[in-house]
Amino acid sequence: MSSAAKPMAAKPRRARGVLRRLIGDPLGALGLAMIVVTVIAALSAGLLPHDPVKLNPMVRFAAPGADHWLGTDNLGRDLFTRMLYGARIALVISIGATIVSLLVGLLLGVLAGFGPRWLDSILLLVMDAMKSVPTVMLALVLITWTGPSLWAVVLVVVLVNGPTYARIVRTQVLALRNAEFIEAERALGAGFLRVASLHVIPNIIGPLLILAAMDIPIVVGIEAGLSFLGLGVRPPTPSWGTILFDGFSYIRDSVWMVIAGGLPIVITALGFTFLGEALRDTFDPKLAKR
Amino acid sequence: MLGYLARRIVLAVAVILTVIAALFAMMRAIPGDPVRTALGPRASEAMVETYRIKMGLDQPVIVQIWRFFSTILQGDLGSDAISGVPVARIIMAQLPDTLYLVLGAMVVAVVPGVWLGVLSATKRGSLFDRVTSVLSVSVMAVPSFVIAIYLLLIFAIQLSWFPAIGAGEGLADRLHRLVLPSVALGLAWIGYIARILRASMLEVMGENHIRTARAFGLSERKIMYDYVLRIAILPTITVLGMGIGQMLSGAVFAEIVFGRPGIGKLVYDSIAARNYPIVTGTLLVTTGFFVLVNLIADLLIAFLDPRVRNVVSR
């Protein structure tokens, strides 16, 4: 117990130091601000007076004004409200799917790294095969079979990103496997689970989380892209992808739908990328070569 | 060298076989009748029965696996559930348009990418370098379909500089219509190439033979272009090889947004019609193409880079 208390006490101070360094980097501060804005948008979506899915044919393609801050879409729905609700979908899906991908990657990577040679070879081959299928094609085949849903989007993300994380974990595990402190621990009788959870995972989780943060724009893109194709979030649920698709369909009638669907994707993508770059520079300059 | 060549080819074949195996497993794992899944909900009883025998689903699993692999590896991807035309022929008819698009995107990516990469490596730490670096990660972050829609909005609809839809007739028209979709697909890769080239140029610039060239008093320009770039350019070949996969993915969106024919448009329309053989066929063709391109890229590097050549032959 006492050994666990020490790092706990040290953490807040370190976290504050990291935050200060991040804000000191203008790009990191900008990225953080963009993400904070997106999160606030997602949280405050329910406070808006308009219903994101209620049709209002009297005010189709309205220009931005006092009542509709970003105007309305082809069915008279308030675009600003839909954009904010879209932030919820985008953040929940991208962060949720990234966490699942990380868990899958950790599990497979540790298995491949610690397991017998044949298991390692099979897992590597499967990971290589997964990375060889163009993402959208993989998604299209999966979703023609499973039908469009949020779960299908999560599955696609896990299949696309999971192998990447698994490969990184595997490399790290192989490097650590023969480290002296691990050998010592094993000599003392520690089992596989103890070594993996107590020594290996804490050693690799930091860089992995940074990579995952930098992958969030890709995941946001996958969700929006699949929803754009009608294979992710189903209308009338507002997703940036479905808003963009409506905007694309009526691109000659109004520019506001394309802006309400596309701009938040750009902001989130840039936010996470800038923050990821800054985090990487702060924590691990060696990772710069990816 | 020969060993590396053989290993690399074996790996490529193994990857393809694994993808086919995964596809087979997936088709078996889907709950329900695979024939109905393959034909879609509108198939008649008679169609289902004929297809079942044609697919050999009355045979034992091991025979099914053998048939599945051997027909695909012979280039037979099945036939269109609706028209009966071989899927391979349908895909091959659409493939050239997609390849022109990917080629266009490569041109868009390579020329400015190399230029920016070289300049930021030679002016390391300058304002130009920093601006290029921020712009690079920015274009890499934004999904290509969002870029495609904004290009369409700005340059085709608002400014009317380019036609909005279609692939066009005649060379000039076709090239003209290729510009926006190529930029949409290639823009991100300007960033990737600039970044990787900058990093690899800095690495090469620190090597001994470059220092020796400097000591001999060769001009900086000659050193940069004749010695550094020649080796530093190699990793961009790998990046472009990987890029092909993402460009094939992005092509689906670019073709839809700009109303172009191609395999992306084909597969999108097939989903709406629940035409499964075309969807799975496209997956196999694009994956095969991607694996082949990466194989070629890796072998090309092994031939071009004396360092890799020596390491792998050891």
Inter-chain touch B143–A217, beta carbons under 8 Å: yes
Tell me which chain A residue has its CA closest to the CA of residue B281: A141
Q: Is residue B140 in some structural domain?
A: yes
Q: In this structure, are B49 and B112 located in the same domain? A: no
Q: Is residue B81 in some structural domain?
A: no
B150: which chain A residues are within 8 Å (Cβ-Cβ)?
A: 258, 262
Q: Is residue B258 in some structural domain?
A: yes
Inter-chain touch B286–A137, beta carbons under 8 Å: yes
Q: What is the CATH number of the domain that holds B251?
A: 1.10.3720.10
Nearest-CA distance from A49 to chain B in Å?
Answer: 29
Q: Which amino acid is at B302?
A: A
Q: Is residue B122 in some structural domain?
A: yes
Q: In this structure, are B48 and B144 located in the same domain? A: no
Asked whether the predicted pLDDT for residue A141 surpasses 60, the reply is yes
Tell me which chain A residue has its CA closest to the CA of residue B20: A129
Closest CA to A42 of A228, A267, A259: A267
Q: Please give the residue that has the higher pLDDT: either B34 or B74.
A: B74
Inter-chain touch B153–A265, beta carbons under 8 Å: no
pLDDT band at B300 (very low <50, low <70, confident <90, very high): confident
Mean pLDDT of B120-132: 89
Tell me which chain A residue has its CA closest to the CA of residue B293: A132
Token pair listed for A158: 């896990």
Token pair listed for B109: 């990516």
Q: In this structure, are B54 and B91 located in the same domain? A: no
Q: Is residue B152 in some structural domain?
A: yes
Q: How far apart are CA B199 and CA B270, in angstroms?
A: 42
pLDDT band at A6 (very low <50, low <70, confident <90, very high): very low
Q: In this structure, are B237 and B284 located in the same domain? A: yes
Q: Is residue B78 in some structural domain?
A: no
B 107-136 residues inside an 8 A Cβ radius of A = 134
Q: Please give the residue that has the higher pLDDT: either B277 or B38.
A: B277
Contact A229/B at CB under 8 A = yes
- ipTM of model over 0.90: no
Mark which of B73, B96, B112 sits at the end of a domain.
B73
Q: In this structure, are B59 and B194 located in the same domain? A: no
Mark which of B14, B41, B73 sits at the end of a domain.
B73
pLDDT tens column, B135-144: 998 998 899 9
Asked whether the predicted pLDDT for residue A5 surpasses 70, the reply is no
Tell me what pLDDT residue B314 has. 41
Q: Is residue B82 in some structural domain?
A: no
Q: Do residues A91 and A239 lie in contact, with contact meaning Cβ atoms separated by under 8 Å?
A: no
Q: In this structure, are B106 and B65 located in the same domain? A: no
Mark which of B47, B73, B99 sits at the end of a domain.
B73
Asked whether the predicted pLDDT for residue B199 surpasses 60, the reply is yes
Q: Which amino acid is at B115?
A: W
- Which residues span the domain enclosing B231? 87-313
A225: which chain B residues are within 8 Å (Cβ-Cβ)?
A: 143, 145, 253
Q: In this structure, are B94 and B64 located in the same domain? A: no
Q: In this structure, are B181 and B34 located in the same domain? A: no
pLDDT band at B308 (very low <50, low <70, confident <90, very high): low
Q: Specify the 3-state DSSP secondary structure of B79.
A: strand
Q: In this structure, are B281 and B161 located in the same domain? A: yes
Q: In this structure, are B216 and B164 located in the same domain? A: yes
Contact A124/B at CB under 8 A = no
Q: In this structure, are B67 and B100 located in the same domain? A: no
Q: Do residues A227 and A240 lie in contact, with contact meaning Cβ atoms separated by under 8 Å?
A: yes
Tell me what pLDDT residue A260 has. 87
Mean pLDDT of A66-71: 77
Number of separate domains in chain B? 2
Asked whether the predicted pLDDT for residue A37 surpasses 90, the reply is yes
Q: In this structure, are B23 and B112 located in the same domain? A: no
Inter-chain touch B137–A134, beta carbons under 8 Å: no
Tell me what pLDDT residue A288 has. 46
